[in-house]
Structures are given as structure tokens and as C-alpha cells.
Structure 1
Amino acid sequence: MGLPARPPGRHVRAPARRRACPRSPASAGAGPGEDDQREAGRLPLVRGPVLRRRPGRDVARHRSGRRNRHGRGVVPDHLGRRAGRNPRHLAASADRLATAQRDLARKKRGSKRRRKAVARVAALHGKVSRQRLDGAHKAALALVQDYDVIAHEDLRIANMTKAPAPKPDPDQSGAFLPNRAAAKAGLNKSILDAGWGVFLTILAYKAESAGRELIAVNPANTSRTCARCGHYAKENRVTQAEFRCTACRHEAHADVNAAINILRAGLALRDAAAA
């Protein structure tokens, strides 16, 4: 029994042959070139060290700091990211939370679908909380393993996240002046998303368990005082990230300059307590 005849008017098209990338004469006899391997998917499409490969894309990691286990003056990168970078777990899940909350708002109260929507929103918030707690545990453990004395700012987070007081308008009864409440609400959300309170709590009990010394320092004026000459001026803080002393022209990252001042203040409190 033969094969069925092909219908008239239909033609089978042969698959197109892939053209090879041109290679230089020097690498003609040395096997597949780098361009050929990249096109075939065996080499990453990005520059730099590859962290892991995923189907359809490559992820590269560039680190600006490294862990310091010998007490040298290098800012460590305890979270595997660039030193000082905020992971912002809530902001990363903001789109999924917004979608789940909109879906919840459409459900009828008391219905089974509403209970499922409530469970989805709660699961997303629970994941954010676990991510924040996991990052705090890892960062605190790295600090406790690497250092014997740790100084930190004695932050009043409840006071930092208070809503601004209303400003009554003196010219119009019952009216109020703008008090930047919307901007303050966004700042409060970012502060709470960073999880400073839970991190300091975990750091305190881990330091006590490991026999490390934890010192809380008053943060007043630590970001406006020069770590080199000790000159204090409001103009020293040029921007949020830039510090330039108006007396000795010392330039540094504002957070690094403040960290040096906090460390010196903590060691001074330690020496005063030992005396």
C-alpha cells in the first residue's frame, strides 16, 4: 500500500538552513567561536560573572564589597548584595498585593470566594514578613560571627514614623495648610518596610547569645559631623548620599562618614563604662 498522493497546489517547504557566523582566521581551526557558542545558548548574553542560568535569560551579579572576617576597614556585604542596599520586600510584592486586594474588594461579604481572596492577601503579607525576618536573621548572624563589638544608632522608630501634625489655616476657620502628609506616609512605609526594629531585636539577642558587645549610640549629628576633622555643620551634608566637609574638604559617602562617627562614639561609651 503506497503513501497517499499529495493534494494538488500544496508544496512542502524545506526548513531554512542557519547561516554560520563569520569567524576570524586565527580561530578558524580552534573549534566553535565565542559568537557561535553564544548564539547556540552555551555562553551568557551578558558580561560579568554568571550567578545562575534560567530558561530564557541569564542573571549576572556584580559585587562592590566583600565580607571582612579580620576586622579591616572594609564595608562588608553581609546580605550578598551591594553594601547598604535595601531589599524592599514589600515594594517588590506591591503589584501582586494590589491585584489581590482589588480582587478582594470585588467579592461579596460572607461568600466563600471572599474568604479565599482574604487568604491570598494574607499569604502575600506572610511571605513579605518571612522574607524580612529571614534577611534580618542572616544579616545579624553575619555581624555577630565577624565582630566582637557592634555599635548602632539608637533609633526611635515609633517617633520616626509618626504622622505629621495638621496645620490649621489662620486666615480661614476650619481649613488646614499643606503639611506634606502624603510624602511622609511614603517615607513611613519605606522605613517600616526596611524592618529596622526587628533587625535590632534579633541582633541584640544573637549578640547576647554569642557573647558579643552591642552598644547603642545617640544618632544626633552623626551624619553632619566630619569623621576626619570633627567639624560640625549643616552644610556638610550636600545630598542624601554625599558628604563634603566645609572645613577640611573631606569627601565621603554620607552613610560611611556617619558609621565612622557612630563607631567612635560607641567605643568612647565602652571605655567610659570600663573606667
Structure 2
Amino acid sequence: MRRSFKFLLRPTGGQASALTQCLAELKEIRKADPDGQGRWSAGSQQQTLRRLDKAFTAFFRRGKTGRTPGFPRFKGKGRFDTVEWPATKNGATWDSQPHERQTRVYLLGIGHVRVHQHRSIKGTVKTISVKREGSRWYVIMSCDDVPAQPLPATGSVVGLDMGVVSLVTTSDGDHLTNPRHLAASADRLAGAQQNLARKRRGSKRRRKALARLAALHSKVRRQRLDHAHKAALTIVRAYDIIVHEDLRVANMTRSASGTIKQPGRNVAAKSGLNRSILDAGWGVFLTILAHKAESAGRELIAVNPASTSRTCARCGHSAQDNRVTQADFACTACGHTAHADENAAVNILRAGLALRESAEAA
């Protein structure tokens, strides 16, 4: 398996300044200034150009297939936050041995930078990336041949219904909380945003205000990521087969504002729902769940969520009136009542098991 290991870098002031310069330099600048650019890794600059080529290739492919092309956005020095070395010994070196703690990584043009390595690295390091997140720097090792860590079988299966009240509701009736980290920090974020708006563009005070706002958003992101890891690990440890909704979060959170000729309806309500969905972090959770399930040897099945929330798990009757409220389900045919999300999770589980049986029969 291929896995990435991310550690906090602790560069000195001079090293942080050199890393910032490294983010903005490209191969063309190297040609124009061979003496000044010779200290940077050619491999890292080539990797930057490969990422640029990949972005434009995807742009032209989307245009040819009739999809919205999405022209690649220019990234100035304030938006370009990652530099990557394609292999070890090509401007970056990580010499850690198995079960050994490495405290420094060597980066060409930067020097030996301290690393806060909180866990051991497994597999073979193939690429080394340095990423800037606000005022923090991280080193990311992408490794091949990472051994799986299968967990003992439990004999249990589960269906998962994603929500905004509870992040996950299982077919067993368990509810994993949604901490709503963004909502909890909304007042501080609003204050920081207002403070930023009052600052003059290009001023030193504006840069400081922007850094404070970015730090708040970074904290919310780390909190959401931490909760997603813990929730996914809880599920992976308890079940052998995990069935979840095949969600398209980007489509679900599109704006309802419409156009001038055809304005949208219930725009404010849709905007609030979109914010709640993004705050819950469904996409982050499902991505982490997939990685942990693969490593643990669990089977993950994604099913179409259509009608799962309005179909009775007891008799199979499907009707919009079955969903009495957001939380309550009452079948108009057989009278079955249940928590709406628990009822949906049971339907999701059944759909996943049926899909698995049909695949095995084929």
C-alpha cells in the first residue's frame, strides 16, 4: 500500500525564509539565474512544473468532454504552499531506519531541519514534500510498500447514514457526534474577518490580521480531521463489512442562488444547510474511513443513497410522507416507527449486502 506520513517541521528563522523562497522558484528562473538558483533542487522545481502540466491536462480533458473546464487558478506566492522532491537523494534526504526516530531531514538549499517525528515510518520513502500551513511547516513522506495492519475479525456488519445532527448513525442505533467545530468558532472567525476587512491592503497590519484568521481556520481544520480519524477508527475496529452512502458532497453543496433571470429559491436555507454539511466534513470522514478500512483488511461498500431515508426498513414501503420530521420516521403503510437516521442506516446496510451478493454471484 501507499501511505503518507506527515510531521511538524521546526525550522529556524533563516530556514523558514529559505523555504518560502523555495516555494516560488521555477525551472525557468533557474535558467535565467544559474548562479543564484543552483542551490535549489532541480528535482523539486521539475515536480512543480509537472503539477502545473497535470492541472492544464485535466483542464483540456474536461473541456473536450463537455464538462465545466475550470481554468487553473494562478497561484501567487501567498497561495503556493507545497514543494515536492520526486525521490530521496535528489535534493532531500530521509535516512531513518525502521523503528528509529529521525529528528532532522536534509533539504538542498535549506540544510538539516528539525522534525517532530511522533511515529515511526513504514515502507520505502519515495517522495518528500514540504508544506506550509499558515505559520507552520510540515514534511510529508509518501511511502510505497507500507504493510497492512489487519485487525481480527468481528463477524459484524454495519450500515452508515451521514448527517449533520449526528456525524454518523449506524444500523445498530449508535450515533457518533458531530462537534460542529466551525459553528463553535464562528464568533471568533467573524471577529477576525471584520478586523481583516478594516486593514489597508498591502499593510503590515493586514498581513498580521490575515495570519490570525488563517490560524483560526487551520485550528478548525485540525479539529475536524482529528475527530474524523477517531470516529473512523471506532467503526473500523468494530465491523468487518462497512456500508456507507456514495455521497457527492460537491454536488450537494452547490449554491442555490441561481441567476438574475432564474433566481433560486430558499437561498438562505440552502446556504445554511451547505455550511452545516461542510462543517460536518463528510468527505474528509469517508476518505479517512476508506484508508483505515484498507489497512485493517475491512470491506467497504458504497451504495446509492436514493430513497433510503423514506423507505420503511420493515415493510419496504417508500413514500415522502414516511419521513414525519428530520428525526422521526413513521411508515404510512405498516405503522413502523423509528429514528429516521437509524431507519436509513438499516436500508443502506441491506442495499450494500445485496450489492455484495450480486457481485459474488456474477
* TM-score range normalised by the length of the shorter chain: 0.5 to 0.7
Give 1:265's aligned amino acid.
A
* Highest RCO, 1 vs 2 (Cα 8 Å, sep ≥ 6): 2
Deviation at 1:155, TM superposition (A): 0.6
Preserved contact between residue 151 and residue 217 of structure 1 (Cα < 8 Å): yes
**Pairing 1:198-217 to 2, within 5 Å after superposition:** 198-217=284-303
CA distance in 1, matches of 2:281, 2:331: 31
Give 2:213's aligned amino acid.
V
**Pairing 1:1-275 to 2, within 5 Å after superposition:** 71=156, 83-164=175-256, 166=258, 179-275=265-361
Give 1:161's aligned amino acid.
T
Deviation at 1:177, TM superposition (A): 5.2
Residue-by-residue CA offset, 1:32-54 (whole Å, 9 max, x unaligned): xxxxxxxxxxxxxxxxxxxxxxx
Give 1:164's aligned amino acid.
A
Percent identical: 70
Find the structure with the greater CA-based Rg: 1
Preserved contact between residue 167 and residue 179 of structure 1 (Cα < 8 Å): no
Q: Pick closer, same or farther for the CA change 1:119–1:144 going to 2, 3 Å.
A: same
Residue-by-residue CA offset, 1:96-129 (whole Å, 9 max, x unaligned): 0111111111122222221111110000000000
Preserved contact between residue 224 and residue 233 of structure 1 (Cα < 8 Å): yes
Preserved contact between residue 89 and residue 193 of structure 1 (Cα < 8 Å): yes
CA distance in 1, matches of 2:248, 2:286: 12
Q: Which runs of 5+ in 1 are unaligned?
A: 1-68, 169-174
Residue-by-residue CA offset, 1:167-219 (whole Å, 9 max, x unaligned): 66xxxxxx655622222111111111110001111111111111100000110
SS at match of 2:177: coil
CA distance in 1, matches of 2:249, 2:180: 17
Deviation at 1:158, TM superposition (A): 1.1
Q: How many residues align?
A: 198
CA distance in 2, matches of 1:159, 1:255: 21
SS at match of 1:155: coil
More strand by share: 2
Q: Pick closer, same or farther for the CA change 1:125–1:147 going to 2, 3 Å.
A: same
CA distance in 2, matches of 1:143, 1:274: 24
Deviation at 1:78, TM superposition (A): 10
TM, length-normalised to structure 1: 0.67
SS at match of 2:234: helix
Q: Which runs of 5+ in 2 are unaligned?
A: 1-153, 161-165, 169-173
Residue-by-residue CA offset, 1:71-93 (whole Å, 9 max, x unaligned): 499x9x999xx824321110000
Q: Pick closer, same or farther for the CA change 1:127–1:167 going to 2, 3 Å.
A: closer
Deviation at 1:224, TM superposition (A): 0.7
Give 2:315's aligned amino acid.
C
Preserved contact between residue 156 and residue 240 of structure 2 (Cα < 8 Å): no
Deviation at 1:166, TM superposition (A): 2.7
Cα RMSD (Å): 2.5
CA distance in 2, matches of 1:233, 1:78: 25
Residue-by-residue CA offset, 1:203-257 (whole Å, 9 max, x unaligned): 1111111110000011011011110111111111111111000111000000000
Preserved contact between residue 257 and residue 264 of structure 2 (Cα < 8 Å): no
Q: Which residue of 2 aligns with 1:17?
A: none
